Amino acid sequence: MAKLQTLSKATWGTLALALPSGLLALGIVATLDEYLPRIADAVSRANWSALALEAGARWPELAGMLVGQLLLLAILVVGGRKALGSRRQA
């Protein structure tokens, strides 16, 4: 009986997450279908040289974000190993 209740809760939880996500996806597709010609036109008329110049000026920001994310990941990996080591000793 407990397994059936757990399965029922898991099923309803999955539906509770899947239905709003599906509706959101359908709404996004409908909106994109309506505005896609305008988006394509804007992309084709973009000033790509100015965009490349701006991206070139902002590469240090991107590099800093990547280094920061790698540092956080390294901290999590090292901290996780230490936590695993302390659990095994206990």
- What would the pLDDT profile of 26-84 be if each residue is shown by its tens digit? 999 999 989 999 989 999 999 999 999 999 999 999 999 999 999 999 999 988 777 66
What confidence tier does 1 reach under pLDDT thresholds 50, 70, 90? confident
The structure's pTM equals 0.43
Burial of 19-35, coded b for 16+ CB within 10 Å and e otherwise, reads: eeeeeeeeeeeeeeeee
Q: What is the DSSP letter of 90?
A: -
Examine the pLDDT at 88 and tell me if it is beyond 70: no
Residue spans per domain, the chain: 1-46, 48-90
**pLDDT tens-digit series, residues 58-73:** 999 999 999 999 999 9
Cα gap 26→24, rounded to integer Å: 5
Listed residue (69, 73, 72, 51) closest to 61, CA to CA: 69
